[in-house]
Structure 1
Amino acid sequence: MGLLKHSELADRILGGWTGRIAGNMLGKPVECGEHWTPERIDAYLRLTGALPLTDYLPAPPAAGADGFELRPEWPQCVRGRINGSCRDDDIDYSILGLHLLETRGFSFTTEQVGEQWLLRLPYLRTYTAERVAYRNLTNGLKPPLTATYDNPYQEWIGALIRADVYGWTSPGDPRRAAALARRDAVLSHTGNGVYGAMWAAALVAAAFTAPDTRTALATALERIPASARLARTVRHTMALHEAGVEWAETLTELAGQTGGLGWIHVVPNAAVLTAGLLYGEGDFSRTLALTVRGGLDTDSNGATAGSVAGVLCGAAAIPPQWSGPLRDRVRSAVTGFDRVRISELADRTVRLATLTG
């Protein structure tokens, strides 16, 4: 943190929030990896004249779009119709994590993470591993049983999507970011599910001081076991990029190795995310576009890619077609935060990031 002036830190954190929300909105209409494969996403973009993708997804054409049905929320998420962000769990957990740090401090416990969920997050706004952990909490179980009892989703992407706030509040300190994310993640996840959260938090933290995306990715890998499947997959993605393999070929190679895990598992999504960040080459729009075009959990991957890219470039450098339609507003299921300003969330995050001790 000491390497950044306060004004630059504030711009980078606002960039992280803005990028996360924009990336989430870009990916939300095509969030269903079983149907919206990279090939189908690109076919839709060609059908609507949106390749290369440099803005939010276009609305579907009035006719000739059979097989290209978007998620029901699409009218709030496509270009020309966005008026502030629509509600999504990828943003709810960032807000909830911010509130946790404000009320419990950086010494929060895993039990207090669960308490915040019960107090401020409606049960039906949780999914997969988080819903299982929520149910286990209400049945009186304590961590780590909340993550392991009757939970087939322990290595899915849910803990990773909760991690960014720990990176934003630990600028330049990936070690602390990963430790905070781990304490949160073990409420609902194990193994690669936890490592994904630690890696994402460290990646965001490293982006504040790293000279480029590749350096940030390498730094983040230092915070998880090198033998973990997630770490091996990220390293393989980086090796393919360094060898000059084209983006589409890289995705095909990675899908062949990880596709059997399912489209919400953290490992294949970390591969798509890593590829988007690397092949995006530091360009905000290209990073978001390639990440979402990679398929799988498109809104979650778009959100994390946008967060990292936004921290790297800062809010002032985010192209206005991404930030403008958000109208500085967020819809949220978190009690007390619906329609909060993005700039307010960023200001509150800056205050936490500048605390000492």
Structure 2
Amino acid sequence: MTPARTEPDVPAGPDLADRVHGGWLGRIAGNMLGKPVEQGEVWTRDRIDRYLRRAAALPLTDYLPEPATDDDARALRPEWRACVRGRVHGSCRDDDIDYSILGLDLLETHGFGFGTEQVGDLWLRRLPYLQTFTAERAAYRNLAAGLRPPVTATYGNPYQEWIGALIRADVHGWTSPGDPRRAAALARRDAVLSHTGNGVHGAMWAAALIAAAFTAPTVRDAIDTALAVVPAGCRLARTVRRTASLHEAGLSWEETLATLAEETAGLGWIHVVPNAAVLTAGLLHGDGDFTRTLALTVRGGLDTDSNGATAGSVAGVMTGARAIPPQWRDPLEDTVRSAVFGFDGVRISELASRTLRLATARGADAGTGAGPGAAAAGPVTLRA
């Protein structure tokens, strides 16, 4: 006899709604915080802190301040004027948020039994080619040329282990509250369109981390729970465990990041492994405080807007929307700009409500994603 599936212990009613809403708000706020300095080879951790000191903005408790010098202004991304404190009126358009919206549309359109080919079909119909980058652009080009998953992830794609699949994972965590394995399975099916190896492991870990954040008593518990869904020997898992061990040994945030920068040197600022280290350090040293978590994660450098977005998502789920400080929430004006067709100007509260409906759905394909089309990608070997 097959035992009945045990439903995860998840928050009920208004609390779950508040946590899902908090995940969306946190992701968007963290993305906005990191966006002006998203160029890791230019905006190193030291340079970000020098910028903040010149603007008398340390400790960082709000969106980035306006640049104090012309040199700083020229080095920022051109969108900075809509992302710094006092100038934020709704979110800027960014791929980190576009993919969360696209993931929501995927689940609403195809359900939890979606197949990898359906992810690709949705990209072609909803997402402009020029708003894709690195591995996603390579996969998009391969789709347009008629290739199918998993070849779309490998042909002409040197970015297979970069951070792109991880930034697409949040919606799978939000819709699997308290069920990290389910979240990881959904994220894997999405990720293999464009990534392999640690690129896929990063997406699975991030989705599981967000799902675990709904019920974990501490951030460390959520991180440890999420590690159980990826191969223990893969480099991503080893790096996350190493980050946690340095924190447990009492190293400061600065010492931790300096050590990890040496140990991941040469991978590049968009590779998923060093970014997972920055994200993990920000979460652990942020210790459940929403503002401190966002600030430390973005000050850590590398892919600042992506890391800020994921850190904000985890912190927002753990605190809930009502507990997010107003300096992060209010300037967003409940509005999202997006390149995803049909979603520009959508309300954050609407996205959260639609996500909540999916999170509370239960059915034959809700637990494992094994519904129609789930096997469309075929087998994929993950490299450690």
TM norm structure 1: 0.99
Pair 1:221 & 2:218 matched: no
Q: SS of the counterpart of 2:77? A: coil
**Does the CA contact (< 8 Å) of 2:19 and 2:317 recur in 1?**
yes
Pair 1:6 & 2:13 matched: yes
In the alignment, the residues of structure 1 paired with residue 212 and residue 21 of structure 2 have an alpha-carbon distance, to the nearest angstrom, of 16
Q: Give the direction of change, closer, same or farther, for the CA distance of 1:171–1:66 in structure 2 (3 Å limit).
A: closer
Q: Report the equivalent of 2:36.
A: 29
Q: Report the equivalent of 2:98.
A: 92
In the alignment, the residues of structure 2 paired with residue 6 and residue 109 of structure 1 have an alpha-carbon distance, to the nearest angstrom, of 30
Task: Extract unaligned runs of 5+ from structure 1.
Answer: none
Q: Give the direction of change, closer, same or farther, for the CA distance of 1:150–1:220 in structure 2 (3 Å limit).
A: same
Q: SS of the counterpart of 1:73? A: helix
Identity of aligned residues (%): 76
In the alignment, the residues of structure 2 paired with residue 330 and residue 169 of structure 1 have an alpha-carbon distance, to the nearest angstrom, of 20
**Does the CA contact (< 8 Å) of 1:44 and 1:68 recur in 2?**
no
Pair 1:40 & 2:40 matched: no
- How far did 1:13 drift? 0.3
Pair 1:350 & 2:356 matched: yes
- How far did 1:5 drift? 1.6
- How far did 1:65 drift? 3.8
- How far did 1:225 drift? 0.1
Q: SS of the counterpart of 1:167? A: helix
- How far did 1:285 drift? 0.2
Q: SS of the counterpart of 2:240? A: helix
- How far did 1:3 drift? 3.5
Q: Letter of the 2:57 partner, please give it.
A: A
Q: Report the equivalent of 2:376.
A: none
Q: SS of the counterpart of 1:170? A: coil
Q: Give the direction of change, closer, same or farther, for the CA distance of 1:3–1:129 in structure 2 (3 Å limit).
A: closer
In the alignment, the residues of structure 1 paired with residue 159 and residue 37 of structure 2 have an alpha-carbon distance, to the nearest angstrom, of 21
Q: Report the equivalent of 1:80.
A: 86
Q: Letter of the 1:12 partner, please give it.
A: R
**Does the CA contact (< 8 Å) of 1:32 and 1:296 recur in 2?**
yes
Q: Report the equivalent of 2:144.
A: 138
Alpha-carbon RMSD across the aligned residues, in angstroms, is 0.9
**Structure 2 counterpart of 1:147, from 150, 153, 161:** 153
- How far did 1:60 drift? 1.1
**Structure 1 counterpart of 2:209, from 203, 207, 222:** 203
Q: Report the equivalent of 2:67.
A: 60
Q: Report the equivalent of 1:157.
A: 163
What is the correspondence of 1:259-278 to structure 2 with a 5 Å cutoff? 259-278=265-284
Q: Letter of the 1:22 partner, please give it.
A: A
Q: SS of the counterpart of 1:141? A: coil
In the alignment, the residues of structure 1 paired with residue 100 and residue 235 of structure 2 have an alpha-carbon distance, to the nearest angstrom, of 26
**Does the CA contact (< 8 Å) of 1:147 and 1:189 recur in 2?**
yes
- How far did 1:77 drift? 0.3
Q: Report the equivalent of 2:379.
A: none
Q: Deviations over 1:251-289 (max 9, x none)?
A: 000000112100000000000000000000110000000
- How far did 1:69 drift? 2.1
- How far did 1:197 drift? 0.1
TM norm structure 2: 0.92
Q: Report the equivalent of 1:16.
A: 23
- How far did 1:6 drift? 1.2
Q: Deviations over 1:102-144 (max 9, x none)?
A: 0100000000000000000000000000000000000000000
**Structure 2 counterpart of 1:290, from 274, 293, 296:** 296
- How far did 1:2 drift? 4.6
Task: Extract unaligned runs of 5+ from structure 2.
Answer: 1-7, 364-384
Q: Give the direction of change, closer, same or farther, for the CA distance of 1:219–1:111 in structure 2 (3 Å limit).
A: same
- How far did 1:67 drift? 8.0
In the alignment, the residues of structure 2 paired with residue 140 and residue 305 of structure 1 have an alpha-carbon distance, to the nearest angstrom, of 36
**Does the CA contact (< 8 Å) of 1:132 and 1:151 recur in 2?**
yes
- How far did 1:291 drift? 0.1
**Does the CA contact (< 8 Å) of 2:161 and 2:271 recur in 1?**
yes
**Structure 2 counterpart of 1:108, from 114, 132, 135:** 114
In the alignment, the residues of structure 1 paired with residue 304 and residue 74 of structure 2 have an alpha-carbon distance, to the nearest angstrom, of 15
Q: Report the equivalent of 2:368.
A: none
In the alignment, the residues of structure 1 paired with residue 252 and residue 9 of structure 2 have an alpha-carbon distance, to the nearest angstrom, of 38
- How far did 1:64 drift? 5.7
**Does the CA contact (< 8 Å) of 2:9 and 2:215 recur in 1?**
no
**Does the CA contact (< 8 Å) of 2:10 and 2:16 recur in 1?**
no
